[in-house]
Amino acid sequence: MHAIILAGGKGVRLRPYTTRLPKPLVPIGDEFSILEIVLSQLAQQGFSDVTLAIGYLGDLIRSYVGDGGKWGLRIDYTTEDSPLGTIGPVLQLRDRLPPHFLVMNGDVLTDLDYADLLASHVRGDAPLTVATYCRQVHVDFGVLTSRAGRIVEFTEKPTLNYQVSMGVYGLSRDTLAGYLPGAPLGFDELMLDLLGKHTPPTEYRFDGYWLDIGRPDDYDRANAEFDQLRGTLLKGV
């Protein structure tokens, strides 16, 4: 099983933490970086090969991770000289990839079973499988609905539920046919293209633990909770 980890972003939302460290190397707890946690999880779940798509401060990631031997993985690299979006780095690798593979952001902290997601993607025969999570958004205002200038509905400070992308995907090599390697391609563009072609992606719903470490609030929460969650996130480490 092959995984591609997107680790080239500048981590602007996490400054000043990311002024001197790339986002995947910011510490979680006292011992581990987020990238080290992800690599350990992939190895435990049976992945053998990982490609790291690096850019900003990529030499630090390459020096830290090396060839992956520490985790029993074979790790190689692809470099973004300019931002290519979520899927753009994958296009550069298309001819080197197996028929189906995992793509994930390098700032995801979760106990998702990546291997099961990929297996589900293969079974479902979909062009793309998106891991999703129910995220609650609290609106700190009274929300109005109006028609023809009259208010017809009012809700005081509602909590809204949204099914959001976790930044983890099962993807098929054939899905990328027709796209130009080296050109930028965002996840949003790919999604809209697939919907426009009436070849919709599949959803993989998840209700376990998930945080987007690129968000300062989630990063602070991850550090506060890590001691309690270490056994869940890093089984046997």
pLDDT single digits (tens) 81-111? 777 888 888 988 888 899 999 999 988 889 9
| pLDDT at 217 (0 to 100) | 79
155 in a structural domain: no
Tell me, what CATH number does 73's domain have? 3.90.550.10
pLDDT bin (cut points 50, 70, 90) of residue 14 is: low
140 in a structural domain: no
149 in a structural domain: no
How many domains would you assign to the chain? 1
150 in a structural domain: no
152 in a structural domain: no
pLDDT bin (cut points 50, 70, 90) of residue 63 is: confident
pTM score: 0.86
Rounded Cα distance, 217 and 233, in Å: 19
Rounded Cα distance, 52 and 58, in Å: 9
Environment class of 4 (CB within 10 Å of its CB; exposed 0-12, middle 13-18, buried 19+): buried
213 in a structural domain: yes
List, in sequence order, every residue forming a beta bridge with 29; answer none if it has no partner: none
78 in a structural domain: yes
Rounded Cα distance, 47 and 45, in Å: 6
Cα angle, residue 130 at apex, residues 182 and 190 outer, rounded to 5°: 35
DSSP notation for 90-149: HHTTGGGS-SEEEEEETTEEE---HHHHHHHHHHHT-SEEEEEEEEEEE--SEEEEEETT
Find the largest Cα–Cα distance for the chain: 66
Query: 16: cis peptide before it, omega within 30°?
Result: yes
pLDDT at 154 > cutoff 90: yes
Backbone angles phi, psi at 181, to 5 degrees: -60, 140
Domain encompassing residue 97: 2-134+162-233
Question: Tens of pLDDT along 227-237?
Answer: 888 888 887 56
Rounded Cα distance, 141 and 139, in Å: 6
139 in a structural domain: no
